[in-house]
Structure 1
Amino acid sequence: MAEREHVVAAYDEPGALVACVASFVAESLENGIPVVTISRTAHRRAVDDVLAGLGADPVGAKRDGTLVTLDADETMSLFMVEGRPDPARFAAVVASLVPTGGGPVSAFGEMVALLWERGEVAAALELESLWNTAIAAQPIRLLCAYPGELLSGSSLSDVARACDLHDRVSLIGAHPGAGDIPRCPDAALSSIHLPVPAAVSSVRHFVRDALTAWDLHALIGDVTLVTSELATNAITHGSSPFRTSLTRADGVVRVAVEDRSRAWPERHHARPGDQDGRGMAIVATLSLRSGCESTPGGKVAWAELNI
């Protein structure tokens, strides 16, 4: 169990989050690590119920101080000033929960998710950054959680910034869907995909649904494979959230995957026994044209296939 780590988890439904947090708390307590949770009232109560079912003793842990459970809104009121987190006040709150010079502490928080849901994205990102400052100074293992659909419907730059502020991006439950597919237009734009392997499956569904709506069934196999390879590149080499688009015009279908990484796709020469390294070669083989272009915040990798 890492002493210092900042993990963000996207969850598909509250029950899955509650089970994950209960496991996180139980594991920490079993290892003798005190825990602080700062969450919504409903989630806090549900976690207590699951902990009891796991054989833990949340009441006893609260009584002896090894488990501290706080309300997210009430805790934020201690350090938010004019809609933004005040660094000094936040540091004072952390110091009251994690004494300087003490041992490691596990923490779960939903304050950032509440701010994001209210449209206060800049404040949420500032709070994530303040948590990193606290973790650098003290051994805190922090788990943050956002509803997956909340992130998938946000801007690519905001989601990328949120991912960058964490050591690891994880998924609780299914990856959010790619969004509604238009039935008539010649363009389809997905929602934001997170940089996790499960995103590739979501991309495939997006492509199949769009091409089916356009009655281009014969292209589904090749376009799905090309898009999957471009998406895998964004996840594996760019470690970036991304957005996928499909357009049809002038006898071609154009696939584009936009991410916030400066790492351009590279074509490797895989040997017979290699398990990977063939992605961009597959894209080049199946495409009429392919390439990559810079954007103000990253890049767009694209490919065109004949209809």
Structure 2
Amino acid sequence: MAAPHDHAVIFYDHDSEIVSAVAAYAHEGLQAGDGVLLVATPAHRSAISAALEDLGTDVAALVESGRLDLRDAQTVLDDFRPEGRLDLERFEDEMRTEVGAATGGGRRVRLFGEMVTLLWQEGDVGGAVHLETIWNDVIADHDVGLLCSYPTALLASAGLAEIRETCALHSEVLAPTTYGSTRPLPADPGEHVADLATAQRTEVFVPTTAAVTAARRFVGATLEHWELDHIAADALLVVSEMATNAVLHAGSPFRVFIHHSPGVLHLSVRDAQRGWFEQGRPTDAEVNGRGVSIVEAVAERWGCDAVSDGKVVWAEISTGV
């Protein structure tokens, strides 16, 4: 399997994010003289075309000249599985031929594809991983940039190991723009303080440094909604250390789980790396590497449990409620 070349992936919360990102990506390539192939859903193709027009691109003229190629992701995907099974060998052969022809004469090509997204939506994450692997093999010997995307709504039902493998097949993982947002998260209307004895929430985050801030925001917004602001400082410190361990030491996506039972807040971070919560050995002058010590100092109880596909680091904080 070829290592990721120029193959980025964007995880997004809202369609407007991916439309804006792909339009900018395609516009930059067209301005530089690159060929651009966009294999997207009908709604995204239409929105991206409109965004390109807003950027001053004559979409119809570029399509006519062959510089811009717009294709339907579902049609292309189905063409490679005429009997319901994805023909990966045929896909690789045809894409090698097409990419080779498109880059002939030294022209660079930019690709965007949502076939892998459709496979995830169908529950065929394994098929998507195989397709991502083949793309790496196809583009390795050509001047090609490839951009893929996945809505974060799909992460909840995918395994952390599958998300981790998908991320590892890309040269760059781009987090949702909301990871860096300072706007408060909307409260879940299904949760009420009257139900606090059984209140719980969970969220999956992709392995980027921005995910630590996003995890803090998720926990902070949840505690505010549950009227547990008085323990927010301790809880945010604990989740920061556990999330940082997942990203920096495990190199893994992670799931944050928050549960409140009478008098106790239970926080846990599950990642896809077997082992233990890394204990750093910093010098007196070093700031980083103190995660275990911080969790030990703040939590009433804490631990690290091995699970079949990784580990769960957990901590309990007294709420007095």
- TM-score exceeds 0.5: yes
Aligned partners of 1:115 and 1:124 also within 8 Å:
yes
Displacement of 1:46 in angstroms is 2.1
Structure-2 residue corresponding to 1:7: 8
- Deviation string 1:229-262 (CA, Å, 9 cap, x unpaired) is 1112212222211111234569643321100123
Could you tell me which of 214, 221, 242 is aligned with 2:233?
221
Structure-1 residue corresponding to 2:130: 126
Q: For 2:187 and 2:308, how far apart are their aligned partners in 1?
A: 25
Residue aligned with 1:276, SS:
coil
Number of corresponding residues? 305
Q: For 1:57 and 1:272, how far apart are their aligned partners in 2?
A: 60
- Structure that is richer in helix per residue: 2
Q: Say if 2:117 is the partner of 1:116.
A: no
Q: Which moved more, 1:94-103 or 1:30-39?
A: 94-103
Residue aligned with 1:131, SS:
helix
Scaled by the length of structure 1, the TM-score of the pair is 0.85
1:139–1:264 Cα change, 3 Å? farther
Residue aligned with 2:39, SS:
strand
1:173–1:83 Cα change, 3 Å? farther
Structure-2 residue corresponding to 1:200: 212
Q: For 1:230 and 1:109, how far apart are their aligned partners in 2?
A: 34
Q: For 2:82 and 2:276, how far apart are their aligned partners in 1?
A: 41
Aligned ranges 1:243-258 → 2 under 5 Å: 243-248=255-260, 252-258=264-270
What do you get for the CA RMSD once the two structures are aligned? 3.0
Aligned partners of 1:11 and 1:145 also within 8 Å:
yes
Could you tell me which of 148, 151, 164 is aligned with 1:147?
151
Displacement of 1:107 in angstroms is 0.5
The residue identity in structure 1 corresponding to 2:171 is D
1:7–1:84 Cα change, 3 Å? farther
Q: For 2:67 and 2:284, how far apart are their aligned partners in 1?
A: 54
Structure-1 residue corresponding to 2:90: 89
Q: For 1:255 and 1:110, how far apart are their aligned partners in 2?
A: 35
Scaled by the length of structure 2, the TM-score of the pair is 0.82
Q: For 2:93 and 2:75, how far apart are their aligned partners in 1?
A: 15
Displacement of 1:169 in angstroms is 1.5
Residue aligned with 1:293, SS:
strand
Displacement of 1:131 in angstroms is 1.6
Aligned partners of 1:36 and 1:97 also within 8 Å:
no
Q: Which moved more, 1:90-99 or 1:219-228?
A: 90-99
The residue identity in structure 2 corresponding to 1:167 is S
- Deviation string 1:37-62 (CA, Å, 9 cap, x unpaired) is 10112222222222222233333332
1:129–1:83 Cα change, 3 Å? farther
Q: For 1:5 and 1:252, how far apart are their aligned partners in 2?
A: 47
Q: For 1:264 and 1:237, how far apart are their aligned partners in 2?
A: 10
Q: For 2:287 and 2:315, how far apart are their aligned partners in 1?
A: 23
Q: Which moved more, 1:11-20 or 1:81-90?
A: 81-90
Could you tell me which of 171, 174, 178 is aligned with 1:174?
178
Instruction: State the identity as a percent.
Output: 36
1:215–1:61 Cα change, 3 Å? closer
Q: For 1:63 and 1:123, how far apart are their aligned partners in 2?
A: 33
1:264–1:81 Cα change, 3 Å? farther
